[in-house]
Chain A
Amino acid sequence: GIQVEQSPPDLILQEGANSTLRCNFSDSVNNLQWFHQNPWGQLINLFYIPSGTKQNGRLSATTVATERYSLLYISSSQTTDSGVYFCAVDPGTASKLTFGTGTRLQVTL
């Protein structure tokens, strides 16, 4: 099946700093989603982005489908950004998402 790798595995930032999270995948995809899992375990949708660039407030994402990677940018980080960020992909032949191992982000004051 498709392989999904995320980097870095862990990230500690001071409030106000910017960061870039990366997701590499091993095959072409029809669906790619970024999620934020908050400390209570809820998976919150950030972006549905099988290709192209999207922005939502302080967050933006870019997927370069031909090169099989996606990037999530967090600007001016806040303590509420803490949690685990997951990238999940669906190659389109499976109609199910395969998740990466996540990036655990901690934003400190």
Chain B
Amino acid sequence: GAGVSQTPSNKVTEKGKYVELRCDPISGHTALYWYRQSLGQGPEFLIYFQGTGAADDSGLPNDRFFAVRPEGSVSTLKIQRTERGDSAVYLCASSLGGTTEAFFGQGTRLTVV
């Protein structure tokens, strides 16, 4: 596609439920990133994929968070047993790889009630 696409745009879930957030990167981009942005803050890194493998998952806050990219294109961020503190905008970005320019999707606003 023309840009990075994220679905859904908004997600409201109850505390304790499981959620999946999807990211469709720019065609041909081998690098994919997930970030989380809380109100009034800059985006914070969660995980980086190069191809199908997670090259750096040091930003995942705990083991309730997991992400996959099985075919090296679309990625899914999975959050188990959601907590109210998980409420934030989750942003996905892609790039050609390495330190090249990254492009962001419009984000998924997750609200845990």
Q: Does A39 contact B (CB under 8 A)?
A: no
CA distance A97 to B100 in the complex (A): 11
In residues 20-74 of chain A, which contact B (Cβ within 8 Å)? 30-31, 33, 35, 40-43, 45, 48, 50
Inter-chain contact A41/B102, CB cutoff 8 Å: no
Inter-chain contact B48/A45, CB cutoff 8 Å: no
Q: Write out the residue numbers on chain B whose beta carbons fall within 8 Å of the beta carbon of A7.
A: none
Query: Pick the contact of B33 from A30, A45, A96, A101 — CB < 8 Å?
Result: A96
Query: Pick the contact of A96 from B48, B91, B104 — CB < 8 Å?
Result: B48
Inter-chain contact A41/B106, CB cutoff 8 Å: yes
Query: Pick the contact of B45 from A48, A92, A98 — CB < 8 Å?
Result: A98
Q: Give the total of B residues in contact with A, Cβ under 8 Å.
A: 25
Interface of B is mostly: strand
A contact residues, range: 20 to 34
* Interface locus among B16-24, B36-44, B64-72, B76-84: B36-44
CA distance A97 to B106 in the complex (A): 17
Interface of A is mostly: loop
Inter-chain contact A101/B99, CB cutoff 8 Å: no
**Listed A/B pairs (22) with beta-carbon separation below 8 Å:** A31-B99, A33-B101, A40-B106, A41-B89, A41-B109, A42-B104, A43-B104, A45-B103, A45-B104, A86-B42, A95-B31, A95-B50, A95-B56, A95-B98, A95-B99, A96-B33, A96-B59, A97-B33, A98-B45, A99-B43, A100-B42, A101-B41
